[in-house]
Amino acid sequence: MGKPTGFLEYMREFPVDRAPLERIKDWNEFHLHMEEKRLRQQGARCMDCGVPFCHTGKLINGMAAGCPINHLIPEFNDLVYNGLWQEALERLHKTNNFPEFTGRVCPAPCEGSCVLGIIEPPVTIKNIEYSIIERGWEEGWVVPRAPKKRTGKKVAVIGSGPAGLSAAAQLNNAGHLVTVYERADRPGGLLMYGIPNMKLDKRKVVMRRLKLMEEEGIRFECGVEVGKDIDPKKLVEDYDAVVICTGATKPRDLPIKGRDLKGVHFAMEYLTGNTRAVLEDGPDTAPIHARDKDVVVIGGGDTGTDCVGSAVRQGARSVTQIEILPRPPDERQPNNPWPEWPKIYRVDYGQEEAAAKWGSDPRVYLTTVKEFIGDEQGCLKEIITVNIEWDRDENGRFIPKEVAGSEKRRPAQLALLAMGFLGPEHTIAEALGLDTDPRSNIKAEHEKYTTNIPGVFAAGDCRRGQSLVVWAINEGRGVARECDRYLMGETNLP
C-alpha cells in the first residue's frame, strides 16, 4: 500500500467525457483519457483492505457484489499509484482476457462493494482498469502470445460474444485448436452488434482484439449458423469437445393491440442494423431510422440507454423512455446495504444526451404501454400509456396494477422494445437433445458447465440467463477450464 493516507487526501475524480451536445453529432467513443498524475492519485485512494470486497464476485439478493472475475484490484491500484503500469497490466490480464471491453461497458459492481464506499465515494476502479489496458495497447505491451505447444485436440465454440471469446482465448492458451462459429457476418456477438459504437468502438477496440486472437491461432467461421448451415451433431462428431456460448437472444415481447404495426421493433433489431450501417455505408443507411420521429423506448437497463443514445444521434424529434418500475432513490436505502449493488438513481450517457438536447431526463417511471395506434397505412403514430402501481398478490409477490383513469396518448412513430430477454434460442439444444432448466436455459451446473451430452459444454447467458458482460467472461473462463480438464484429465487454466 503505497499511500496509506491517499483516501483521506484525494477526492474521487473522473476524466471528463466529450460534451453531450458535441458527441451526439457522431458515432465516435465519448470516453476521454485522464492525465497520469491524476490517475495515480485515484489509485492512491485504494485502502488495500484486509478483506477487499471489491473482488469477491458474489451474488447478493440476485445482484453482483464485487468483481465476478475476481480482479486483483488492490494490487493493480497500488501499481498504478507507483507508476508500474506494465506490472499493473500483467495483474489485469491474470483474471480478464478483455479489460478493454469491461473497462468501457461494465457497470462496475466492484465499485459498489468498495470498502471506502461505505463512508466516501468509492475508488474509480473501472476507469483505472480502462486506463491500464489502453496504456498497454499504446505502449505495445499487448502482443500475440500463441501457445508454445499444441495438444492436437480440437474444440468448437458456438457463439463469439464475451463468453465464447473468453472460452476460445483460454482454450487456445491451453494449446487446443479452437474454431469459433458465429452466425453474423463479423465475430464479437453482443460486443460487435449489441453495443453501439460510441460506447465500444468496433474498429479500434473490438476488431483490434479479434485480430490479435487470430494471430494467436484462433479460427473464426462467420456467417455460419449452427443448426441451420451446419448440423450440431456434425460438430460433436468432428471435434473433441463443443462449447455452446450462444447467449440469451430471445427478446421479451409486448403482445398488446397494435404490436404488428410498422415502426414497432425489438431493440436488438434496431441496434444491430444501426451498427452494421455505421461500419459499412454510413449511419444514414440504417434500416430502422429515428430521423424526425417521436421515439419511445420501452424498458430501462443498458439496452434501453443504448437505444436512447442511438435515437438522439439519428436526429429523433423526441425520445421518451418508459419504465415500469419506480424512480430509484438518490441514496442507498436501509434494505440495500453495502456491499450489495447500490440501487440508486443514475444518469447514463443516453439520458445525459437527451437531457442536454431537450432539457430533461427522458425517463417516465411507473408507466407501461397499453396500446399501439396506427394510421391508415399501418404505420405507428401514437401509443397509449397507463400509470402503474405495485401491489402484492395472495402469495406476497409484487405485481403491477393499472391506475384507473391514468391513460395518456403520446406521439410515436418508432417504438423500441428493450424489456430484456427470455433465454436462448433452442435450435441447438433440440438438435442435440440437451436438457434445459425451468427457465429454458441449457442445463449445466455453474463451475462445471457440463451438459447431459459428454463433451458438450454450455456457458454464458445461454446457461445462466441474461446477465452482465463480466459474468459472461467469468463463465467463458470457467467453461474453458472444465473443457480442458475433460480433454486432458487435468488442467492448469486459472
Q: In terms of domains, do 64 and 209 share one?
A: no
Q: In terms of domains, do 108 and 195 share one?
A: no
CATH classification of the domain holding 413: 3.50.50.60
pLDDT at 157 over 90: yes
Residue 162 inside a domain? The answer is yes
Give the per-residue pLDDT at 135.
Answer: 97
Q: In terms of domains, do 441 and 357 share one?
A: no
Give the per-residue pLDDT at 63.
Answer: 85
Q: In terms of domains, do 201 and 348 share one?
A: no
Q: In terms of domains, do 279 and 410 share one?
A: yes
Q: How many CB atoms lie within 10 A of CB 492?
A: 10
> What are the Cα distances from residue 157, in Å, to 4, 5, 83, 222, 362?
46, 48, 38, 12, 40
Give the per-residue pLDDT at 455.
Answer: 97
Residue 493 inside a domain? The answer is no
Residue 286 inside a domain? The answer is yes
Do strands 318-322 and 294-298 pair parallel, antiparallel, or not at all (unpaired)? parallel
Q: How many domains does the chain have?
A: 3
Give the per-residue pLDDT at 241.
Answer: 98
pLDDT at 23 over 70: yes
Q: What is the mean pLDDT of residues 301-308?
A: 96
pLDDT at 31 over 90: no
Q: What is the mean pLDDT of residues 447-469?
A: 96
Q: In terms of domains, do 316 and 456 share one?
A: no
What percentage of residues in the chain have a pLDDT greater than 70?
100
Q: In terms of domains, do 413 and 437 share one?
A: no
Give the per-residue pLDDT at 199.
Answer: 96
Distance between CA atoms of residues 108 and 67, nearest Å:
7
End of a domain among 404, 419, 434? 419
Give the per-residue pLDDT at 394.
Answer: 87
Q: In terms of domains, do 213 and 259 share one?
A: no
Mean pLDDT of the chain: 96
**Cβ contacts of residue 188 below 8 Å, gap of 6+?**
160, 161, 165, 182, 202, 206, 207, 210
Give the per-residue pLDDT at 140.
Answer: 97
End of a domain among 390, 419, 448? 419
- Model confidence at 263, pLDDT cuts 50, 70, 90, reads very high
Q: Which three cell numbers stand for residue 295?
A: 421515439
Q: In terms of domains, do 85 and 159 share one?
A: no
Residue labelled with grid coordinates 477526492: 11
pLDDT in tens, 343-377: 999 999 999 999 999 999 999 999 999 999 999 99
- Model confidence at 5, pLDDT cuts 50, 70, 90, reads very high
Residue 145 inside a domain? The answer is no
Residue 95 inside a domain? The answer is yes
Residue type, 121: P
Q: What is the mean pLDDT of residues 9-19?
A: 93
Q: In terms of domains, do 360 and 412 share one?
A: yes
Distance between CA atoms of residues 391 and 169, nearest Å:
47
- Model confidence at 62, pLDDT cuts 50, 70, 90, reads confident
Give the per-residue pLDDT at 446.
Answer: 86
CATH classification of the domain holding 129: 1.10.1060.10
Q: What is the mean pLDDT of residues 444-472?
A: 95
Residue 148 inside a domain? The answer is no
Residue 147 inside a domain? The answer is no
Q: Which three cell numbers stand for residue 429?
A: 439444444
Residue 320 inside a domain? The answer is yes
Q: In terms of domains, do 119 and 182 share one?
A: no
Q: In terms of domains, do 103 and 195 share one?
A: no
Give the per-residue pLDDT at 365.
Answer: 98
Q: At 317, is the secondary structure helix, strand, or coil? A: coil
pLDDT in tens, 182-228: 999 999 999 999 999 999 999 999 999 999 999 999 999 999 999 99
Of 106 and 63, the one with more pLDDT: 106
**Cβ contacts of residue 142 below 8 Å, gap of 6+?**
89, 133, 136, 212
Distance between CA atoms of residues 341 and 107, nearest Å:
10
Of 290, 282, 294, 297, the closest CA to residue 314 belongs to 290
End of a domain among 139, 170, 202? 139
Containing structural domain, residue 130: 6-139
pLDDT in tens, 434-443: 999 999 999 9
Do strands 250-251 and 421-423 pair parallel, antiparallel, or not at all (unpaired)? antiparallel
- Model confidence at 1, pLDDT cuts 50, 70, 90, reads low
Q: What is the mean pLDDT of residues 437-460?
A: 95
Q: How many CB atoms lie within 10 A of CB 454?
A: 9
pLDDT at 395 over 90: no
**Cβ contacts of residue 396 below 8 Å, gap of 6+?**
none
pLDDT at 86 over 70: yes
